[in-house]
């Protein structure tokens, strides 16, 4: 069986090809605005971004591993515009002292920069062009630099710290459009005040964000939402709009109600009118969805909530494919810097998948880039093919030993 010896070699390693996707001129503009290179004579902001992305893509566990790994690539660092690998202390000082704001702003700038490329798909049977989901995920820290959640341990045990990554994603494009990092103790509903959805948008989220006053403001602004109703909610049923008795094995919408929920604003009690949809899924689980949209079908309401799972898969991709079990710094600023750089890496992989039109899973693309990070292979070939082809042997099968000996005479 003969190998196909065709080689897809290029003049730059894969890591350099990934970095070339990033618009460096926008980063330089943000650096000047934030003054993040002020007082630095070496190891500038772009070099720190390169070092962080190298560690994130290669899944290094510590800054020492990152610096030692790059030091072994001395002959290839010139591709990245670096003369040498930084020392561990230099990189650690930058994580502690350089404000993470420049990396945060760059992440938001990249979202806008790649928006035309990523927003080409559309979920079927969804009538809203602007369709967003938001949720949060908690990341455990092994220090109390940021306040964690849960009870204090008994005895001499020390409570672990933690942080939350709150994220708003475009469901159609399956990419984040906004993110915020907070201490894990911050309640989820406080994230709502940072959102600014445009008129006509559809938001979907879990019942942890039940905040009736915010719901009323969205209704006045023409912003729609779908979420689950809490079990202890005091809903006043005004009218039963639809009711159907489902059989044992049937599923779907079986009841629709017009309800009122009370909330307080400026010390006055207000009323919020909503639509309550009862739904049973294929596994027999029952849900109660509330929405302020009265025009779409109840089936679309249930489908919209089903797409909320896309943000859960986004968090799963980030946690499984990037190094978030160990942090390169024990300072709050360093931890936030690593989170923003991880989100940039996640966005880059989404862009690569779209550019290459690869049908491989996200985890497969992440693994291929990690394995071939310093190989001089074509990036698009690696994420689309990345395997050796074998040509079919045309010769006859091996002869038996007796037959082979007879052929000698």
Q: Does 77 fall in a domain?
A: yes
DSSP summary character for residue 294? -
What does the pLDDT read at residue 366? Answer: 93
Strands (E), 217-267: 224-228, 236-243, 252-265
Kind plus residue range of the DSSP H or E element containing 72: none
The structural domain count of the chain equals 1
CA distance 237 to 136: 31
Q: Which residue has the tokens 């964690």?
A: 148
Q: Look at residue 367 and tell me if it is in a domain.
A: yes
Tokens of 156: 């001499």
Q: Are 77 and 13 in contact (CB under 8 A)?
A: no
Query: At 33, phi and psi to the nearest 5?
Result: -65, -40
- Per-residue tens of pLDDT for the chain, all 409 residues: 455 455 677 888 899 999 999 999 999 999 999 999 988 888 999 999 999 999 999 999 899 999 988 888 767 777 777 878 889 999 999 999 999 999 999 999 999 999 888 877 788 889 999 999 999 988 877 666 665 555 555 555 555 567 888 999 999 988 888 899 888 888 888 888 888 899 999 999 998 888 899 999 999 999 999 999 998 889 999 999 999 999 888 999 999 999 999 998 888 899 999 999 999 999 999 999 999 999 999 999 999 999 999 999 989 999 899 978 788 988 989 999 999 999 999 999 999 999 998 889 999 999 999 999 988 899 999 998 755 544 555 555 555 555 545 554 5
| Residue 339 counted as domain residue | yes
Q: Tell me, what's the pLDDT at 145?
A: 63
Q: What is the pLDDT of residue 392?
A: 53
Asked if residue 11 belongs to a domain, the reply is yes
Strand partners, 257: 240, 276
What separation in angstroms does the CA of 59 have from each of 88, 283, 368?
17, 38, 13
Whether 223 and 199 have beta carbons less than 8 Å apart is answered as yes
Looking at the domain assignment, is residue 175 inside a domain?
no
**Can you give the pLDDT at residue 7?**
60
Domain membership flag for residue 337: yes
Output the pLDDT for position 185.
81
Alpha carbons 303 and 212: distance in angstroms, whole number: 23
- Residue 284 lies inside a defined structural domain of this protein: no
The per-residue pLDDT for 396 is 52
Q: Given the structure tokens 């820290």, which residue do they identify?
A: 141
Question: Does residue 217 contact residue 200 with C-beta atoms inside 8 Å?
Answer: no
- CA gap 62, 91 in Å, rounded: 11
Q: Model pTM?
A: 0.83
Phi first, then psi: give them for residue 179, nearest 5 degrees. Answer: -150, 150
On whether residue 293 sits in a domain, the answer given is no
Domain around 86: 2-101+330-390
Residue 279 neighbours by CB under 8 Å, 6+ apart: 252, 253, 254, 286, 287, 288, 289, 298, 301, 302
Specify the pLDDT at position 81: 75
């Amino acid at each position: 069986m003969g190998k196909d010896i065709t080689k897809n070699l290029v003049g730059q390693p894969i890591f350099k090809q990934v970095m070339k996707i990033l618009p460096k001129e926008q980063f330089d503009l943000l650096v000047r605005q934030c003054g993040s290179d002020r007082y630095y004579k070496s190891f500038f902001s772009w070099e720190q971004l390169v070092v962080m992305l190298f560690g994130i893509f290669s899944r290094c566990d510590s800054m020492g591993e990152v610096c030692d790994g790059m030091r072994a690539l001395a002959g290839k660092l010139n591709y990245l515009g670096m003369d040498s690998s930084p020392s561990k202390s230099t990189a650690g000082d930058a994580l502690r002292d350089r404000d993470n704001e420049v990396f945060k702003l760059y992440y938001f700038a990249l979202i806008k920069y790649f928006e035309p490329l990523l927003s080409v798909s559309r979920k079927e049977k969804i009538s809203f062009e602007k369709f967003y989901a938001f949720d949060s995920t908690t990341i455990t820290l092994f220090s109390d630099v940021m306040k964690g959640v849960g009870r204090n341990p008994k005895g001499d045990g020390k409570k672990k710290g933690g942080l939350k990554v709150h994220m708003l994603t475009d469901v159609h494009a399956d990419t984040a459009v906004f993110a915020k990092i907070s201490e894990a103790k911050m309640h989820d509903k406080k994230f709502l005040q940072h959102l600014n959805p445009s008129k006509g948008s559809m938001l979907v989220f879990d019942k942890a964000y039940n905040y009736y006053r915010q719901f009323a403001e969205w209704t006045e602004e023409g912003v729609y939402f779908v979420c689950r109703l809490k079990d202890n909610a005091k809903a006043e049923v005004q009218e039963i709009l639809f009711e159907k008795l489902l059989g044992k094995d049937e599923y779907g919408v079986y009841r629709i109600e017009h309800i009122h929920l009370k909330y307080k604003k400026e010390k006055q009690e207000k009323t919020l009118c909503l639509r309550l949809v009862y739904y049973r899924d294929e596994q027999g689980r029952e849900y109660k969805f509330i929405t302020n949209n009265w025009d779409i079908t109840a089936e679309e309401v249930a489908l919209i909530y089903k797409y909320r799972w896309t943000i859960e898969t986004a968090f799963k991709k980030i946690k499984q494919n990037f190094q978030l079990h160990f942090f390169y710094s024990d300072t709050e600023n360093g931890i936030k810097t690593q989170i923003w750089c991880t989100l940039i890496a996640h966005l880059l992989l989404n862009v690569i998948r779209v550019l290459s039109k690869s049908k491989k899973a996200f985890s497969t693309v992440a693994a291929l880039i990690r394995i071939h990070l310093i190989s001089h292979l074509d990036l698009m070939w690696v994420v689309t093919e990345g395997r050796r082809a074998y040509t079919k042997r045309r010769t006859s099968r091996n002869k038996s030993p007796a037959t082979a000996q007879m052929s000698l005479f």
